[in-house]
Chains A and B, each alone.
Chain A
Amino acid sequence: MSLTTASLNQGCPEKQYSENRTMGSAIESAGISKKFGNNRVLNNITFSVNESEIFGFIGPDGAGKTTLFRIITTLLLPDEGKMTIFGTDSLTGFRELRKQIGYMPGRFSLYHDLTVEENLKFYATVFGTTIRENYDLISDIYSHIEPFRKRLAGQLSGGMKQKLALSCALIHKPKLLVLDEPTTGVDAVSRSEFWDMLKNLRNHDITILVSTPYMDEAMRCDRIALIQNGSLLSVDNPRKIKDGFGKRLYRIKARDKYRLLISLRKYELTATAFPFGDSIHVTFRDDIYDQSLIVHLGSEGVENVTIEEMEAGIEDRFLELMERKPGGETEQV
């Protein structure tokens, strides 16, 4: 995959946050590769992140998201390539950069035997600041858990831990906030609230890098990178990635979904058929189907069939890109 930095920058960031701001570059990643033993975890990763944007890495477990984030946060060295953050080389300038980066790892970084307030105070002290100094930055988030400030962090619910960890990552007012799967295992409502908080943080001139396995969260990012098996599949704003879907897509429903799916797979003009909620998303070899489909489904005993053309979503596009890219996990099966 040879995505040049120049081509990535063309994906013009959406107006809502580019207005009245000169967009600098927050992260420049050029040809980053990393191996653990013989296992190639990152493969020539090149992209750039603009200042004050929410940039999402979307991909499954094992895609390389955490390794990449550890390189960006200067905790791990790449084997090849160059990582520049706010113009500073991460190799030589890591001391300076660490003060500017807030990192919330996937596994919680909280001390379970300290209280909520002690955790926050600890992180503030490590970075040479105080809770009071940057309170306005975290007040939105911290106010939800402040009533429990005397409680041990180990006794918080998942959603509260998440808010505390975010407060701790923010308390030194970083310019770059790196969040590794902050919403994994979190219910749909809390996830939605979390994304609202991130939107608010952007107004404080903080660049946010976030990873998630949930495709639906992609739409909440300014730009996203789809990542799979250590390679970037695509980098752009979510709208454009969706629009990149190459074929006509149909939503097909029937009373018995499983029978419908199996029957569609047997139909000779079917290119792909994937279950999506209560329907099957289908593409056909030459983009069209004819009466023979209806006849086929009827002969298979599939009843109450409805077919309509639809607009592809991010997940449809991701599936399409995965199919094209050999070496995917699913291909080995």
Chain B
Amino acid sequence: MKENVVISVRNLVKKFGDFTAVDNLDFEVYKGEIFGFLGANGAGKTTAIRILSGLSAPTSGDAIVSGFSARRQPEKIKQVIGYMCQRFSLYEDLTVRENITLYGGIYGMRRQLIKGRTAELLGKLNFEKYADSLISSLPLGLKQKLAFSVAVLHDPGIVFLDEPTGGVDPVTRRQFWEMIYETASRGITVFVTTHYMDEAEYCDRISIMNEGRIVALDTPAELRKKYNASSVEEVFIKIARPDGRLHTA
């Protein structure tokens, strides 16, 4: 299993002043895995993802992502991962084709390769008729699918998806997850956060964060068994509010 580790997190800590946002994380993610990264608002997920994607430096500890250190080589990490966040990374006033070309260029892909990939991508999404439409004119579901495709345009080893399906209709949400399955089956690791608990069940393994720590990490089936719950949502509620009190923060 060792050679298949694509993310290795060791004693990772991030502090903002006196506040510890990420408190000693320690976990591994494997190649081709769909890894669900769950937690209540404010649990520290976004901070952790920012470190893993080279956007923020750890206070102590380290994460090795596709062989590069988040502490020492964040710029290298940025080149070998894909990233899609809840609000779009696409430029609204550029066309579909222009966006693809722009991102291909940012990732340092050769012009010829970008051209080939563009045709491939448009065909796969059945998007040819939108190739020269402005992003702003597309419905949300199409934008989201395109944003995902662009995030994996350069064949990254890992793609980070931060609440990728917020607000889309149930049919599009499922089409999106089929794209995730297909991507994972090609060996790309998918690291995903979501507030839809049914989506957590699609993942190979999930971790649940609470107050900066990972309090549970396993397959959905094992977690349901361990917490004697019928769904991941039930597991989540048991973990995130163990004492049943109302958190205000």
Bound Cα distance from A147 to B200, whole angstroms: 34
Asked if A254 is at the interface (CB within 8 A of a chain B CB), the reply is: no
Bound Cα distance from A213 to B141, whole angstroms: 13
In the bound complex, do residue B126 and residue A333 qualify as a contact, i.e. CB atoms below 8 Å apart?
yes
> Looking across the interface, which residue of chain A has its beta carbon closest to that of B182?
A258
In the bound complex, do residue A329 and residue B167 qualify as a contact, i.e. CB atoms below 8 Å apart?
no
In the bound complex, do residue A186 and residue B248 qualify as a contact, i.e. CB atoms below 8 Å apart?
no
In the bound complex, do residue B237 and residue A228 qualify as a contact, i.e. CB atoms below 8 Å apart?
no
Distance in Å: Cβ of A184 to nearest Cβ of chain B: 7
B199 proximity list for chain A (CB < 8 A): 277
Main secondary structure of the interface of B (DSSP, over half): helix
Bound Cα distance from A148 to B249, whole angstroms: 10
In the bound complex, do residue B170 and residue A258 qualify as a contact, i.e. CB atoms below 8 Å apart?
no
Partner among B167, B170, B237 whose Cβ is within 8 Å of the Cβ of A322: B170
B184 proximity list for chain A (CB < 8 A): 258
Known: A186-B195, A188-B197, A333-B142. A215 touches B249 (CB 8 A): no
Interface centre among A191, A318, A322, A333 (most CB of B within 10 A): A333
A190 proximity list for chain B (CB < 8 A): 40-41
B182 proximity list for chain A (CB < 8 A): 258
> Looking across the interface, which residue of chain B has its beta carbon closest to that of A162?
B41
In the bound complex, do residue A160 and residue B139 qualify as a contact, i.e. CB atoms below 8 Å apart?
no
Distance in Å: Cβ of B45 to nearest Cβ of chain A: 10
Q: Which of B35-54 contact A (CB under 8 A)?
A: 39-43
In the bound complex, do residue B237 and residue A192 qualify as a contact, i.e. CB atoms below 8 Å apart?
yes
Known: A160-B249, A184-B166. A329 touches B202 (CB 8 A): no
In the bound complex, do residue B142 and residue A186 qualify as a contact, i.e. CB atoms below 8 Å apart?
no
Bound Cα distance from A147 to B248, whole angstroms: 10
Q: Which of A153-168 contact B (CB under 8 A)?
A: 157-160, 163
Cβ proximity bits B79-95 to A, threshold 8 Å, 1 near / 0 not = 00000001000000000
A185 proximity list for chain B (CB < 8 A): 41, 86, 163, 166, 195
Interface segment among A59-67, A236-244, A290-298: the answer is: A59-67
In the bound complex, do residue B167 and residue A158 qualify as a contact, i.e. CB atoms below 8 Å apart?
no
Bound Cα distance from A163 to B139, whole angstroms: 31
Bound Cα distance from A187 to B236, whole angstroms: 10
In the bound complex, do residue A278 and residue B248 qualify as a contact, i.e. CB atoms below 8 Å apart?
no
Give how many B residues have a beta carbon under 8 Å from the other chain's beta carbons. Answer: 50
In the bound complex, do residue A277 and residue B169 qualify as a contact, i.e. CB atoms below 8 Å apart?
no
A192 proximity list for chain B (CB < 8 A): 237
A216 proximity list for chain B (CB < 8 A): 198
Known: A60-B169, A333-B175. A189 touches B241 (CB 8 A): yes
Known: A159-B42, A159-B248. A187 touches B171 (CB 8 A): no
> Looking across the interface, which residue of chain B has its beta carbon closest to that of A273?
B174
In the bound complex, do residue B171 and residue A328 qualify as a contact, i.e. CB atoms below 8 Å apart?
yes
Interface centre among B41, B175, B185, B199 (most CB of A within 10 A): B41
Bound Cα distance from A163 to B248, whole angstroms: 9
In the bound complex, do residue B171 and residue A215 qualify as a contact, i.e. CB atoms below 8 Å apart?
no
In the bound complex, do residue B248 and residue A160 qualify as a contact, i.e. CB atoms below 8 Å apart?
yes
> Looking across the interface, which residue of chain A has its beta carbon closest to that of B185?
A258
Cβ proximity bits A314-327 to B, threshold 8 Å, 1 near / 0 not = 01001100110000
> Looking across the interface, which residue of chain B has its beta carbon closest to that of A191?
B195
B174 proximity list for chain A (CB < 8 A): 274-275
Q: Which of A120-165 contact B (CB under 8 A)?
A: 144-145, 147-148, 157-160, 163
30 CB contacts below 8 A, A to B, read A60-B172, A61-B140, A144-B246, A145-B248, A157-B42, A163-B248, A184-B166, A185-B86, A186-B195, A187-B39, A187-B40, A187-B41, A188-B195, A188-B233, A189-B40, A189-B240, A189-B241, A228-B169, A261-B178, A274-B171, A275-B177, A277-B220, A277-B231, A319-B171, A322-B170, A329-B141, A329-B142, A330-B169, A333-B126, A333-B145
Q: Which are the 3 A-B pairs with shortest beta-carbon distances?
A: A277-B201, A60-B169, A61-B167
Residues of B within 8 A of A (CB): 39-43, 86, 125-126, 139-142, 145, 163, 166-172, 174-175, 177-178, 181-182, 184-185, 195-202, 220-221, 231-233, 236-237, 240-241, 246-249
